[in-house]
Amino acid sequence: MPARLTVPIPEKQIRQLRIGDQVLLSGVIFTGRDAAHKYMKETFIAGKCPDAERPLYDILKRGLAGGVIYHCGPVVRKVAPAAGKPERYEFVAAGPTTSIREEPYEAAVIEHFGLRGVIGKGGMGAKTLAACQKFGAVYLHAIGGAATLIAETVKEVVAVHKLDFGVPEAFWQIRVEDFPCVVTMDSHGKSLHDQVEADSKRKLAELLAQ
């Protein structure tokens, strides 16, 4: 049976997960790709937060504590608002993007914001794996090619931040229900991606030796 995780996720629950475990995730999470990670590292972690950026910092600090960031550049459409209501958005497609591009930033983001989960595809490197082990987080592999299916788990776009980065690169704050993913890097120093790479190298060596 899949493990059901609800944001904010307690560290104890994360520590119980192992690579290969299936997860159904619910709660409010954030999307964030290259521009978002660079912005967080340079504006909030490496430097002093400018007063103008303080409101967003407070939102991220609260929302990412025990929370999840999703490496995703969604396809989004505007929905005609009801009278007197602000404009709304819906996710049309929400497939994962390649995570390794965030390797220079992710460990610092996990530590500073108290992340419990990172979602993407393809896995990440040694720095992120070490941060997962030290601070109690996991990497969750989402299904590539299932962008429309994943979008169906997005029940509400709560807010969008830094839309000036562009739709794919903005922080989308979304509420998901039963978002399906698999633990491929756990908080015990294990990486399914490393195991697959090692097995592939071993099998290649065996073939070349024949």
Question: What are the tens digits of pLDDT across the range 129-169?
Answer: 999 999 999 999 998 778 888 999 999 999 999 999 999 99
Active site residues: 37
Domain 3-209 CATH (choose: 3.20.130.10, 3.60.20.10, 3.30.70.3280, 3.55.40.20): 3.20.130.10
With tokens 């097995």, the residue in question is 199
pLDDT at 198 over 60: no
The answer to which of 69-73, 141-145, 163-167, 195-199 has the lowest mean pLDDT is: 195-199
Sequence spans of domains, the chain: 3-209
DSSP letter for each residue of 114-130 = T--EEEEBS---HHHHH
Query: Residues 166-190: pLDDT tens digits?
Result: 999 999 999 999 999 999 999 999 9
Nearest to 117 by CA among 177, 185, 62, 175: 185
In this structure, the strands spanning 171-185 and 138-141 are antiparallel
In this structure, the strands spanning 88-93 and 171-185 are unpaired
In this structure, the strands spanning 88-93 and 22-31 are unpaired
Evaluate the omega torsion of the peptide bond into residue 180 and state whether it is cis, within 30 degrees of 0.
no
In this structure, the strands spanning 171-185 and 22-31 are antiparallel
